[in-house]
Amino acid sequence: MRIPKYYEMYKPILFSLKDGEIHSSKELKSKIKDYFKLTDEDMAVLLPSKQQTVFENRAGWARTFLKKAGLIESPARAMFKLTKDGIDTVNKNPDIIDDKYLLQYEQFAPFYYNLSSNKKQQNENNSTDTIDKTPEDTINEAYEEIYKRLSSDLMEEISKLSSIAFERFVLDLMNKMGYGTFENSSHTTPKSKDSGIDGIIMEDKLGFNLIYMQAKKYTNNSVGRPEIQSFLGAITGKGGKGIFVTTSKFTKEAVEFADKQHIILIDGQKLIDYMIEYNFGVSTKIKYELKSIDTDLFNGYDYE
């Protein structure tokens, strides 16, 4: 039996959730297996990396695409249910549910086109434009796609944290990055004494230099200059540096003001980048090495 493509899994996933209840990813995979009448041997086929099954990989992408289109949601880790649009789709029961179908949902298009410029080319020209790409280009594009998906998944997990948990989360990340050397040296400030400071980080081992931190978990609102000015007022006279972290973005005015005041700003994407760089909340799944000829070595030998 041919293992179905990720987009071929859209329909069985949606109809597995038609009862309106919350189901686990394990349940969905079982439903997909039954829908396509896959055998245990089919389910065990591995990717070339040998680190994950083909089925698991494609099912994961299918859930991600359906979430981005707004047809399913994940109220808890590895748990899924239909959204209103998902219920409407199941009730309409279209013959084909694929990427083209999902593009009717406004929120899906930016994710789909940003995921791969090549997919946009295929959508517009109905052809695959890969002739001019080297193997390295293909690998880099694949890496970027995976990175974007990982970034999206990490931000989704962060969004589920409470505001207080997010403050602790940021401090733990700073500790992972090498700040707050001593145990318990990074700590959140009591909420009753917050005064715009959510945490204090020791920059050096003895604690002579302090970094004052404010962390704001926003969904859509950008952080503007007033918030940075307020934070600056809270740390002025304390003899330390300032760092402002948000899950959203900073306005141009906020960036310009912070730069003049030497306050470090970390927006949502930068936060994710640091997590991936310092292996905080992620783990290495596969490692590839790209090697090229060492011409210096060969130049040291005589040729006939």
Total domain count, the chain: 2
Cβ atoms of 211 and 242 within 8 Å: the answer is: yes
**Domain check: are 187 and 89 in the same one?**
no
19, 114, 23, 32: which is closest to 73 by C-alpha? 23
* 74: in domain: yes
**Domain check: are 174 and 106 in the same one?**
no
Return the pLDDT at 303.
60
pLDDT at residue 205 is higher than 90: no
- When pLDDT is averaged across residues 58-81 and rounded to a whole number, the result is 93
The residue segments making up the domain with residue 120 are 6-132
Question: How many angstroms from the chain centroid is the CA of residue 151?
Answer: 2
* 107: in domain: yes
Q: Could you read off the pLDDT of 119-146 as tens digits, one per residue?
A: 444 444 444 333 345 566 677 778 888 8
Q: Could you read off the pLDDT of 88-118 as tens digits, one per residue?
A: 999 999 999 999 999 999 999 888 887 655 4
Return the pLDDT at 1.
65
pLDDT interval class at 52 (50, 70, 90): confident
pLDDT interval class at 189 (50, 70, 90): low
**Domain check: are 174 and 90 in the same one?**
no
**Distant-in-sequence, close-in-space partners of 236: CB < 8 Å, separation ≥ 6:** none
Q: Integer distance in angstroms from the first to the last C-alpha of the chain?
A: 55
Could you tell me the two tokens for 300?
A: 């040291």
Q: Could you read off the pLDDT of 253-268 as tens digits, one per residue?
A: 999 999 999 999 999 9
Return the pLDDT at 126.
47
15, 18, 125: which is closest to 117 by C-alpha? 125
